Amino acid sequence: MLGNLLATAVEYTVQALELFLVVYLLYRGLWKRHAGVLVYLLSLLAVDEVVRRYFFHRYGLNSLAYAYSYWLTDVLLALEAFGLICIFFRRACVPQLWRVLRLSLIVVFILVAAISYLSLSHHKDNLLHSFIYEFEQNLFFTCVLLNTLLYIMLHQMGSADEQLALLVCGMGIQFAGPTAGLALVHLTVGGQLAYLLLHHLAPLCTLGMLLIWTYAVRRFTTVQEPTYRASGHRGTVPALAGAGLHGD
């Protein structure tokens, strides 16, 4: 009973913070500066409050339709998260460095897609399961790595853009839950404990990200151009198992 109440409280807090940040960015005229963040927040709201809610109430938790809607929208959010990290890299870099990194990020994405495709070729009996699991897992781990590298790069370059550093920290927390959950799903071969962890941990990580983003956006409302100093340097989770997708 207490666990359900806490989960509900976290869910509504996440929704409130997402809506607050969207309204705040629009009201304060910061949407151009934070266009990537705004699109990502709108996608989180649309996925949780429209798409997944519709399929949940229309078809039920244990339906194949809800499972498809949940995991496919998860892939969409992972793609948007990758794009947002690219935007953060663009903001952190001087034009000359960005031209090099842009090509590197494109190559990284192609490699992730290629590796996922190779996995599909070995699972022809269950292409959708393989695509969702392998591609999303590879993309999440790639995002974790890139986000960590970006955070290190900001410190090594001595970036004065404190807001960007906080936004990157928030993304790191957001990735922590799904990445840990997907890794556990892989280790336990789709065990129920892994899905339970993913169900409870992912919303907490999203909440952590939103709290940091709220502080970053409200604390640093003026436009900051990156400068450098010389230095040595979310919803109920259905399972993916068996011949297809099904709910818990």
What tokens appear for 27 in the block?
């009201």
Q: Mind listing the pLDDT tens digit of every residue in the chain (248 residues)?
A: 666 788 788 888 999 999 999 999 999 999 888 999 999 999 999 998 899 999 989 998 888 888 888 888 988 998 999 999 999 999 998 888 899 999 999 999 999 988 887 776 665 556 566 667 778 888 888 999 999 999 999 988 877 889 999 999 999 998 877 777 766 766 766 556 666 666 677 888 899 999 999 999 998 875 444 444 433 335 556 655 433 434 44
Please check whether residue 78 is in contact with residue 142, taking contact to mean a CB–CB distance below 8 angstroms. no
Strand partners for 246: 239
CA pair distance 238, 220, nearest whole angstrom: 38
* Each residue's pLDDT tens digit, 78-114: 899 999 999 999 999 888 889 999 999 999 999 998 8
The domains of the chain are located at 2-221
CA distances from 100 to 18, 90, 164, 216 (A): 33, 11, 20, 28
